[in-house]
Amino acid sequence: MKINPNIIRGYDIRGLVNKDLNEEILENFGKAYGSYMIRHGEYKAIIGHDSRGDSVAYKDAFIRGLISTGMDVIDMGLIMVGTKYWAQYHFNTKSAIMITASHNPKEFNGMKLAKNYSESMILEDLKSLIRQIETEDFVVAKTAGSIKKIDITQEYFNDILQRVKIEKKFKVVVDPSCSTPGAIVPNLLRQAGCEVIESNCNLDPSFPLGVADPTETIVAERLRDKVLETGADLGFSYDSDGDRIGIVDEKGTIIWNDVLVALLALDVLNSHPHSKIMFNTLCSKVVSDTIEKYGGEAFMWRTGHGFLKKKNQEIGAPFIGELSGHFFFSADFYNHDDGCYVTLRLLEYLSRTNQSLNQAISQLPHYISSPEIKLYCDDSKKIALIEKISPILKNDFKDAEVIDDERAGDGVRLEMNDSMFIIRYSQNGPYITIKFEAKTEEKYIQLKKYISNLLHTFIEIEWDNEIRVNVESLE
């Protein structure tokens, strides 16, 4: 069987339903993954799925492949991806699968596959699974493995709730764009003592509001409007598998997640003083400014939760944060991202410090900052495009610090005293991503014009393609 190699992303698998992926392909991935893990001494796997229309059928197909290798399977049903990682420790297994395409459009589905506790398979591991499928290099068991269906939601909730102490009764809006967290997060927050206003928490696999992506301005603005309408203390949005969040404060301020990285870093440094705090290259300078102000060591690394988790095995940072909304409390929880835990952790911080979210954010350094912008560029062209752009940036900004080594990984970041911008290609899909910021409005507008004019010179970028996010920030 031939597999489209483009479905292999940096740290997961994502492809078009009924084109790149179907039940037969999922069953073969189950055979390949089960064989891989058995050869590494694992004989039990846990699996869950998101709310996409074909996720249950794909999960069942993957399970058929798993049990054919002799793997025993625990089917957890509809879950958020953080539950998958938590369940590895609960069930004592390194083998864990989530059927999801995260924040991709409804036409996509995919898989997130673990190879160790809190550790995802990344590029080369995933490529090896395709080689196994194409050569039919599978373990074939004399007796098929077993299947058990177990709902661990309440046990998962109990563990998270006993790790935090929230003494204030918050009024919160939850808006997961009709995706998986809508069936899970409101219940957890009510158990934490919150008054919960559900907004778009009904599950609808057609994604009637568009993709569930907290980094999209349209999602943040919808959340803002609901917070202001209801007089809530703050609002939370989530992506479709619940490992990423977005927030809005009580005044309706949209707070991009790199600012939240800075706030949570401040919290972590209170209990883990002088620690390294890891963040990705898309983050604002507010992150490094805050870490250094409060006595920590700022450590920048390449974008992608799989790369960050892997690097943290070496670095040992107690906290990692990404602009996209992945947060890892590695010292206080586990070395993986979990939308439920970070939600409660933020509420605990606000409760303990007796601040509103707006008050807490106002103490941080301020930059005028764009959201994360995504522009369509075909997978076959995006790497070469960045290679074209990089020398132009170096020539045009000779006084800037240029970060284009392994810390950047897949792009180039330029830092000046009063500003920053980054252009990189995505590991998740056919697009490039851009972010820029400055201390003053004048410099911000100057950077916006420069970046827009530069990118419009490249025919590889399709500005009108439907795969685009926050493009208005470059207009």
Annotated catalytic residues are: 102
CA distance 64 to 84: 19
The backbone region for 419, taken as left when phi is positive above 0, alpha when psi lies in -120 to 50, beta otherwise, is beta
CA neighbours within 13 Å on the CB side: how many for 98?
31
CA distance 435 to 281: 10
Cβ-based neighbour number of residue 1 at 10 Å: 10
CA distance 270 to 274: 9
Give rounded-to-5 percent helix, strand, coil for the chain. 40, 25, 40
Backbone angles phi, psi at 120, to 5 degrees: -85, 150
**What stretch of H or E contains 197?**
strand 195-198
Return the SS3 of 67.
helix
CA distance 38 to 319: 32
The DSSP letter of residue 146 is P
Quickly count helices (H) and strands (E) in the chain.
14, 23
Pairs from 363-366 (Cβ < 8 Å, separation ≥ 24): 364/259, 364/262, 364/263, 364/266, 364/286, 364/290, 365/262, 365/285, 365/286, 365/289, 365/290, 365/293, 366/286, 366/439
Give me the helix-helix angle, 441-455 and 379-396, nearest 10°: 130
**Do the beta carbons of residue 130 and residue 121 sit within 8 Å?**
no
**What stretch of H or E contains 97?**
strand 95-99
Q: How far is CA 473 from CA 77, 296, 421, 437, 449, in A?
A: 39, 32, 13, 11, 10
**The length of the chain, given as a count of residues:** 475
